[in-house]
C-alpha cells in the first residue's frame, strides 16, 4: 500500500494549496454546515466496509452482492464469521445463463504440517478495489488480499509467518473438473470457459477431479493468480498491475470526493462510486462495448438498458470518462437504420428488446462526457447517431404530426409503450390506450417532450463544440416548437401543474406525478410555472414526504407505498426534481431535500446497498439492491449540493 500512502500525502499537500482556489471558483459559498472539514480522504482505506459483502455459500441462502472490479463478470464475497472459511468465497459467475458458485472458496490457506486448522480472531474487510482477510491457522497469523487486475484476472496475495509451510486447497461445484499442469490448476465444465489458477514456482499440486491441494515453497509472501477464460501470463509484472489498480482507485476517489462536504455525505458518494464500478462489465459476446448493468443482485439485469445507460454515463463522466463513452457506444451499437435505440441489450443478442425505446437523454450524457474530457472525436462520432435518434421520435412517435410526441411501441402493445416511458405501471397510464393504426399511446407526455426539447439544446451545443456548419436536421414541425410552447401546452393553470394530455380531446390527464419535474430539470418552464409546481413539490401531503419525491402524489387515491411506479421513491426522479428546484434559485430547499435522502434512506449511511427504490414514508429499501441509476442519481445530487445554477 506504500504507493497509496505516498499519493495520499501528495494530494493532502496539494489540497491545502488549492482548496481556496477551488472554493472561490465554484460560483457559490459553501453552506455553513460544510465549512471547516479540511479533509481529503482519497485513500481507499478511509472507506472500509461501505457494503456488507459477507456471505459463505450455502444450500438455501441467496447472495445479492459481490466484490468485483475492472469489468469482471465474476465476483467474490467475504466469509461469514458464523460460517468461516480460510479464504475468500467464490468465484461466482454473474452471467445470467450460468449464474452460480464455481467454488465456495477457491483458495483456502492453512499451516502445515502441524494440522492445526482452527480459525481464531478472524477479521475481514471490503475496501474500494480489494477484499482483505486476516485470521490465525493454529497459532500462525495469515493475511490475504484479493484484487482484480483485469476483467479476466484476479490476484490473491498471502502473507504469513516465515518458516512455516502453507498449504492451499479448494473444492468445486457440481460439473466442474480439476486438472493439473505444472504449477497450473485448470478447472473445466462443459460449455463454460475454463478457470486457470497459477501458483508460485515449484508448487506441488494434487487433484482428485473435484478438489485440489497445493504445497508452495516456504516464503513470507505468496501470489496466486486466477484467470477467467484466459491463462495468466508468465513473466508479467503483477505487482505493477496491482499498483496501477490502486492508483486508479485513488484517482476515482480524488475525482469524486469534495473537500467541503460532511464525511457522512462523502460516504454516500463513495458508496455510489463503488456501486457503479462494481456493476461495470467488460465487452462480452453481443455486448460490443463495456457498460453498467442495472444491478448485479438480480439475474435478469445482466445487460444494458438505454436510459439507465445515459444516467450512468453522465454520473461516471468525471471519474471514468473512458468507461462512460463505452457505455454510450454500447447502446448505439444496436441503433436501427431508422434511428431507434433499443430498450435493452444482452450478451445474447437474440434477447435484445426492440419492442420499445426509452426516454431520450442520450445527447445530455454525451454533453456531460464532453464537458469532462473535451474529446471532440467522440462528439463527432456520436453526433449523427444522436441526431438520427432525435429525429426518430418525431417520425415514429408523433401520430398526429402536431410536434408533440407520445410514448409508444414497435409491436403496437400498450405494455411495451408503458415500458418506453421508463415508468412502467405509472398511474397516468391507467386509462391509456394505443392509437388505432399507429404505434403511439393516445396521450402526449410532458416528460418526453421536455426531454426532446432539451436534447435539441444539447445537440446544438455538441454541434458548436465540433464546429459543424449545419444545424442538425430536425423535422420542420419540431423546429417550430420551443421550450415555452412545450411548457404552455402541458401546463394546466387550474391545477398549477404539468400533466400529460389526451389524444384527440386534448384534455389534461390530471395525475400529480414526478414527470412534472422534467420541465424544471431541463430549464424549460417559466419562472411562474416553476414556482407553482415547486409549491406542490413542497406540500407534505403530496411530494415532501419523509423521503421526498414519491413518483405519485402521496394523497392520490391510487397511491401504493410499495407499488413500483405508483408511490415509491425512485432516486432518478428525486434527482430530476431536486436538481430542477435548484435551477430555479431554491438551492437551500434542494440541499435540504438532498440531505433528507442521504440521511434517511435505509442502509445508506451504514453498510447496506443502494436500492432500486424506497418507501416514501419510512425510507425502507425496495426491489433490486446495488442499483446503478440510484447510485448515479445520488452521486449527481452530491456534486450539486450547495451550488446555485
CATH number at residue 605: 1.50.10.10
Is residue 632 in a domain?
A: yes
Domain co-membership, 224 together with 294: no
The pLDDT of residue 117 is 52
The pLDDT of residue 475 is 54
The pLDDT of residue 469 is 57
Angle, in degrees to the nearest 10, between helices 628-640 and 587-600: 140
- Is 489:443 a contact under the CB 8 Å cutoff? no
- Is 43:250 a contact under the CB 8 Å cutoff? yes
Tens of pLDDT along 368-401?
A: 999 999 999 999 999 999 999 999 999 999 999 9
Domain co-membership, 179 together with 311: no
Is residue 30 in a domain?
A: no
CA-CA distance, 508 to 360, in Å (whole number)? 23
- Residue in the block written with cell 393516445: 442
Is residue 129 in a domain?
A: yes
Domain co-membership, 382 together with 419: yes
CB contact burial 592-630 (16+ within 10 A = b; e otherwise): ebbbbbbeebbbbeeebbbbbbbbbeebbbbbbbbbbbb
- Is 449:438 a contact under the CB 8 Å cutoff? no
Is residue 3 in a domain?
A: no
The pLDDT of residue 477 is 54
The pLDDT of residue 240 is 94
The pLDDT of residue 35 is 43
Residues of the chain short of pLDDT 50, as ranges, are: 1-36
Angle, CA 622 vertex, CA 621 and CA 626 arms, to 5°:
80
* Domain hosting residue 289, numbered range: 261-640
Is residue 134 in a domain?
A: yes
Domain boundary among 215, 245, 275: 245
CA-CA distance, 280 to 388, in Å (whole number)? 27
Is residue 213 in a domain?
A: yes
**Number of folded domains in the chain?**
2
The pLDDT of residue 31 is 43
The pLDDT of residue 566 is 98
Domain co-membership, 220 together with 73: yes
CA-CA distance, 143 to 123, in Å (whole number)? 9
Domain co-membership, 317 together with 205: no
Is residue 67 in a domain?
A: yes
Domain co-membership, 381 together with 516: yes
- Residue in the block written with cell 467474490: 76
Domain co-membership, 206 together with 269: no
Q: How far is CA 115 from the centre of its chain?
A: 45
Domain co-membership, 327 together with 224: no
Alpha helices (H) along 160-262: 238-256
Domain co-membership, 485 together with 358: yes
Look at the alpha carbons of 594, 600, 602, 606 in this order and tell me if their dihedral is positive or negative.
positive
Q: 10 Å Cβ neighbour count for 108?
A: 22
603: phi > 0 → left, psi -120 to 50 → alpha, else beta; which? Answer: left
Is residue 10 in a domain?
A: no
Q: pTM of the entire structure?
A: 0.92
* Host H or E run for residue 599: helix 587-600
CB contact burial 158-183 (16+ within 10 A = b; e otherwise): bebeeebebbbbbebeeebebebeeb
Domain co-membership, 623 together with 538: yes
Domain boundary among 193, 210, 245: 245
Q: Which of 577, 558, 570 is closest to 624 using CA atoms? A: 570
CATH number at residue 63: 2.70.98.50
For 45, the grid coordinates are: 482505506
Domain co-membership, 599 together with 480: yes
Please, which residues have CB within 8 angstroms of residue 590's CB and are 6 or more apart in sequence? 578, 579, 581, 582, 640, 641
Domain boundary among 217, 245, 273: 245
Domain co-membership, 331 together with 457: yes
Q: Could you tell me what percentage of the chain is helix, strand and coil, using 3-state DSSP and rounding each to the nearest 5?
A: 35, 20, 45
Amino acid at each position: 500500500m506504500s504507493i497509496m500512502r505516498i499519493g495520499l500525502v501528495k494530494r493532502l499537500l496539494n489540497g491545502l494549496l488549492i482548496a481556496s482556489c477551488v472554493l472561490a471558483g465554484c460560483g457559490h459559498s459553501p453552506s455553513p454546515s460544510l465549512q471547516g472539514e479540511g479533509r481529503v480522504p482519497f485513500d481507499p482505506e478511509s472507506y472500509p466496509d461501505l457494503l456488507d459483502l459477507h456471505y459463505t455459500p450455502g444450500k438455501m441462502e441467496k447472495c445479492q452482492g459481490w466484490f468485483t472490479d475492472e469489468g469482471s463478470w465474476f465476483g467474490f464475497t467475504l466469509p461469514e464469521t458464523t460460517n468461516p472459511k480460510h479464504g475468500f468465497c467464490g468465484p461466482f459467475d454473474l452471467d445470467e445463463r450460468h449464474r452460480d458458485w464455481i467454488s465456495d472458496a477457491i483458495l483456502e490457506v492453512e499451516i502445515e504440517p502441524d494440522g492445526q486448522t482452527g480459525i481464531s480472531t478472524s477479521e475481514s474487510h471490503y475496501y474500494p478495489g480489494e477484499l482483505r482477510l486476516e485470521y490465525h491457522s493454529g497459532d500462525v497469523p495469515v493475511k490475504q488480499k484479493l484484487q482484480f487486475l483485469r476483467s479476466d484476472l484476479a490476484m490473491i496475495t498471502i502473507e504469513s509467518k516465515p518458516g512455516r509451510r502453507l498449504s492451499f486447497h479448494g473444492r468445486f461445484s457440481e460439473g466442474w473438473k480439476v486438472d493439473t499442469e505444472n504449477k497450473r490448476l485448470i478447472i473445466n465444465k462443459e460449455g463454460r470457459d475454463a478457470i486457470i489458477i497459477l501458483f508460485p514456482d515449484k508448487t506441488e499440486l494434487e487433484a482428485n477431479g473435484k478438489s485440489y491441494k497445493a504445497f508452495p515453497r516456504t516464503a513470507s509472501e505468496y501470489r496466486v493468480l486466477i484467470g477467467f477464460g484466459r491463462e495468466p501470463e508468465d513473466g508479467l509484472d503483477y505487482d505493477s498491475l496491482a499498483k496501477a489498480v490502486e492508483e486508479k482507485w485513488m484517482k476515482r476517489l480524488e475525482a469524486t470526493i469534495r473537500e467541503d462536504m460532511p464525511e457522512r455525505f462523502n460516504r454516500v458518494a463513495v458508496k455510489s462510486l463503488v456501486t457503479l464500478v462494481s456493476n461495470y462489465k467488460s465487452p462480452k459476446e453481443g455486448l460490443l462495448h463495456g457498460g453498467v448493468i442495472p444491478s448485479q443482485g438480480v439475474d435478469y439485469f445482466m445487460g444494458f438498458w438505454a436510459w439507465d445507460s445515459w444516467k450512468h454515463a453522465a454520473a461516471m463522466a468525471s471519474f471514468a470518462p473512458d468507461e462512460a463513452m463505452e457505455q454510450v457506444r454500447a447502446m448505439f451499437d444496436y441503433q436501427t437504420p431508422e434511428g431507434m435505440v433499443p430498450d435493452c441489450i444482452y450478451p445474447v443478442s437474440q434477447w435484445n428488446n426492440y419492442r420499445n425505446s426509452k426516454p431520450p437523454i442520450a445527447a445530455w450524457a454525451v454533453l456531460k462526457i464532453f464537458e469532462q474530457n473535451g474529446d471532440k472525436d467522440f462528439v463527432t462520432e456520436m453526433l449523427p447517431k444522436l441526431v438520427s435518434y432525435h429525429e426518430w421520435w418525431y417520425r415514429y412517435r408523433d401520430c398526429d404530426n402536431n410536434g408533440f410526441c407520445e410514448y409508444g411501441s414497435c409491436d403496437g402493445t400498450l405494455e411495451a409503450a408503458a415500458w418506453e416511458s421508463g415508468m412502467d405501471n405509472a398511474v397516468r397510464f391507467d386509462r391509456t390506450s394505443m392509437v388505432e393504426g399507429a404505434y403511439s399511446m393516445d396521450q402526449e407526455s410532458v416528460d418526453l417532450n421536455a426531454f426532446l426539447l432539451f436534447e435539441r439544446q444539447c445537440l446544438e451545443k455538441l454541434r458548436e463544440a465540433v464546429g459543424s456548419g449545419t444545424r442538425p436536421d430536425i423535422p420542420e414541425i419540431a423546429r417550430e416548437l420551443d421550450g415555452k410552447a412545450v411548457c404552455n401546452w402541458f401546463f394546466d393553470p387550474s391545477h398549477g401543474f404539468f400533466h400529460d394530455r389526451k389524444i384527440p380531446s386534448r384534455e389534461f390527464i390530471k395525475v400529480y406525478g414526478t414527470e412534472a419535474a422534467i420541465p424544471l430539470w431541463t430549464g424549460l418552464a417559466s419562472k411562474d410555472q416553476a414556482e407553482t409546481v415547486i409549491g406542490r413539490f413542497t406540500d407534505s401531503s403530496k411530494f415532501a414526504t419523509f423521503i421526498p419525491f414519491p413518483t405519485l402524489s402521496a394523497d392520490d387515491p391510487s397511491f401504493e407505498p410499495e407499488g413500483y411506479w405508483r408511490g415509491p421513491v425512485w432516486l432518478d426522479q428525486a434527482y430530476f426534481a431536486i436538481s430542477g428546484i435548484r435551477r430555479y434559485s431554491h438551492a437551500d430547499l434542494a440541499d435540504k431535500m438532498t440531505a433528507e435522502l442521504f440521511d434517511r434512506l435505509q442502509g445508506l449511511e451504514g453498510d447496506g446497498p443502494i436500492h432500486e427504490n424506497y418507501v416514501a414514508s419510512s425510507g425502507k429499501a425496495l426491489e433490486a439492491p446495488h442499483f446503478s441509476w440510484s447510485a448515479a442519481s445520488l452521486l449527481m445530487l452530491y456534486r450539486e449540493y450547495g451550488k446555485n445554477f
